[in-house]
Amino acid sequence: MKKYEHIFFDLDHTLWDFSTNCAETLNELYAQHQLHRFNIVLSEFIISYRQINDSMWDDLHRGKVTKEEIRNLRFARTFHLLGLQESDVPQGMDEQFISICPTKSNVFPHTHEVLDYLAQQYVLHILTNGSSDTQFVKLKSAGLDHYFKEVIHADESGYMKPDQRMFDYALQTAGILPHQCLMIGDDLYADVLGAKNAGIDQVFVNRHQIKHEEILTYEIDCLSTLKTFL
Ligand SMILES: [Mg+2]
């Protein structure tokens, strides 16, 4: 007998391949703004940006920075990390990143196949801390929008994962109780422990096989494994 009726998916780094889409965007910005003139190579630019962006998102989940600060400061901090002046950041690059990156369509292996399979048995939703303006574009660009009944984002709920109120809002929106659903995400802290704290079973998508000591419902390193137990 099927245990769950609804599944909540995180989007970035779980289904939508943020790193690849981000690298493609940075590649375009690097060329357009001729960043080679600062004697930085593309790979360094991408690695530094990721480092800054990832750490700012971790800070966001812990309430230390706002989304607005991430958008406005990540290139300045990337340039600083590369030994450049923050004032060297080309005008408008933050906005360009926001408008280009969500139009990229790379998703992780087996995304469409697994969603096709799950959509036949479960009601699927997106539960994301990303901004509403970018998440809808990402879903459409990647051809994922038709799989999901609700796209629940932090802007709408007023809370972010791992805050239990974000999960409560999601349950309320879907009209269900915790035992009726499963949360699938790549972020141990925000998605998985957040869901666990809200009484929701979880799947940790641990592609990099990071070590931890948490007791979780399921843990996978590839989306295709979902078909073995769902
Ligand atoms: Mg994620």
Q: How far is the CA of 187 from the centre of ligand 1 (A)?
A: 5
Is 118 part of a structural domain of the chain? yes
Supply the pTM of this predicted model: 0.93
CA atoms in the 13 A half-sphere facing the CB of 84:
21
Q: Is the pLDDT of residue 152 over 90?
A: yes
Tell me what pLDDT residue 118 has.
Answer: 98
Average pLDDT over residues 69-89: 94
State the pLDDT confidence band at 1, using cuts at 50, 70 and 90. Answer: very low
Average pLDDT over residues 66-74: 92
Q: How far is the CA of 33 from the centre of ligand 1 (A)?
A: 29
Q: Is the pLDDT of residue 2 over 80?
A: no
The number of distinct structural domains making up the chain is 2
CATH of residue 118's domain is: 3.40.50.1000
To the nearest 10°, the Cα dihedral for 44, 46, 52, 54? -130
For residues 142 and 58, membership in a common domain is answered with: no
Q: Single out the residue in 87, 103, 119 at which a domain terminates.
A: 103
Q: How far is the CA of 9 from the centre of ligand 1 (A)?
A: 9
Is the CB of residue 149 less than 8 Å from the CB of residue 5? no
Is 167 part of a structural domain of the chain? yes
Q: How far is the CA of 85 from the centre of ligand 1 (A)?
A: 30
For residues 131 and 182, membership in a common domain is answered with: yes
Is 1 part of a structural domain of the chain? no
For residue 170, give the 3-state DSSP assignment. Answer: helix
Alpha carbons 130 and 3: distance in angstroms, whole number: 29
What does the pLDDT look like over 19-69, one tens digit per residue? 999 999 999 999 999 999 999 999 999 999 999 999 999 999 888 999 899
For residues 34 and 63, membership in a common domain is answered with: yes
For residues 79 and 119, membership in a common domain is answered with: no
Give residue 60's domain range.
Answer: 18-103
For residues 95 and 113, membership in a common domain is answered with: no
